[in-house]
Each structure stands twice: as C-alpha cells, then as structure tokens.
Structure 1
Amino acid sequence: MFSKACEYGIRAVIYIWSQNKRGIKLGVKDICKEIDAPEYFTAKILQSLAKQNLVSSTKGPNGGFYIDTDQEKMRLLDLVIAIDGDSLFRGCGLGLKHCSEQHPCPIHGEYKVIREGLTRLLADKSLKELAEEVSSGKATLSTVMVT
C-alpha cells in the first residue's frame, strides 16, 4: 500500500519518537539497525523529513534525529503525505484517469469506502501514540519475530 520509502520513514519516525522521551538524539545507523532498514535510503528519507520540519536533526558528535515540541502533534497522515504524496487518498483504485461518481470504475464504491477508512485511521493516529505502543511492548517495529 505504501512505498518502501514511506514504510521506512514511518518506522524510523516511530522509533525516534519512542526514544525521544529519554532525550536521546539518534544517528541513522542506530535507527536503521533497530527498524531493519537500509542505511543510505533511510538517511535520505530522514533528511527530507527534516527539511519539511517533520523531524529535527543536529549535526556533529552529539547530533542525530529527534522530535521537537513543534512536531508533537504530528499525525500518521502528515508523514504519509510528506513521503508518498496524497494520490493514495484521491486516485482511482484501478488507476483510471476519468473514474468518478458519475463514471465509476468496477471497484469505485468499495475502494472509496476503503480509502475513506484509511484516511480516517491515518488522521486519527498520532506518531506519539504509536511510539507509546512500541515503548510499552504492545507493538513492535522489528521484522524479526522473537519466540
């Protein structure tokens, strides 16, 4: 559903959030190790998010990525749109250019319901909430299953 860039970006920002309350600035290497993501690709994503003021960063030996107070109200929807754009929320499920209520594609009605539900989910979830689920152990960002 989301691009790989968006998946890595979401996981990275949630991880940064989960460590933020400890006052830690995280380097890309540490973030990528924890979320099982490629370092160079994730660094580019985080740099882009920093330019859009969705995460903060500082350079130098004590530098890294962190969440600032002006970013605390960020919703998952903000992050998805920043990385993937909004075409997922307004396009045709089959990719048709002229799909509309008046000229629907075969899955128009069902896709509209799914798209609206996804938009609500992403708008209702804050990254802070998701990070708290990870911090408390209710959710994980790891792709490795521990048994």
Structure 2
Amino acid sequence: MSAVRRLATLSNHLVTRSLPSQFNSPVATSFKLGSALSTTTSPEMSASVKQLVDSSIADNKVVVFSKTYCPYCRRAKQILTQETDNVKIFELDEEDNGSEIQAYLKQLNGQGTVPHVYINKEFIGGCSDLQAIPTAKLKQKIAA
C-alpha cells in the first residue's frame, strides 16, 4: 500500500473516531469519506479490482480475503487448510490495492470486516460463520 493511501486511510480513521457528535453532519461525513476515496480509487483501478475479485471467486474452489495480523483470519485459514490444499488467500494488508479490494467485497455482500470466505463461489461469511459449519458439511461444501 502506498504511503499516500496509508495516510488517507489513517486520517479518515482518526477523523471518524475523533469527531464530536455535533460534527457528524452530512458535510463532515462527506469530508471524511471524500478525503480517503479521492486518493484511493480510480475508474481503472475499480475495474481491475472488480475483475481480480470476481475472477478469483469464480476460478478457485476456496478463496479467503484476509489480513496477516487478524486472529479471525488466521483461524479461518487454519480451518480451511486442514480440509484442503486448494485455498487461494489474498492478504489485503500486503496488497497495494487491499483497501479497494475490501471496499469492493463490502459492496458485494455487505460485510466490511475480514476474513471473507468463499467456497465454490458462495459467500460463507467470516470466521464465526465458517466455524458454525459442522466439519462434515464443510467437507461436503469443499468437495462439491
């Protein structure tokens, strides 16, 4: 991730967390969102991010969009790699366009956090959703 994107993401996070409630107006929200989006998205990148995500989900049996430092992501990857060697993993904190990928994933399914687990093109959810699937059923989903 470029330094500009990191700074934009960090400043957006800090502004979002530190504004008193009277500043949570449409104008303030527009500023918060606009400052990060203006430096991290472009029509070309959005199309390439969409293509990357869509083709990865379509072309791989199991896909995990993850972050290396996330304990929930680590657990989800551990569960899946115990069941199959055929897991495609994207570490969003190591991708130059990781924040854009995560934003697109949120558009796809409404979940803003990681991990995002897909099995046979089906969005499973996050770690808790994955853990809720009985082992035998998980094996069936992966084998299908």
User: If the length of structure 1 is used for normalisation, what is the TM-score?
Assistant: 0.27
Please state which structure has a larger fraction of its residues in helix.
2
Please state which structure has a larger fraction of its residues in strand.
2
RCO higher in structure (CA 8 A, sep ≥6): 1
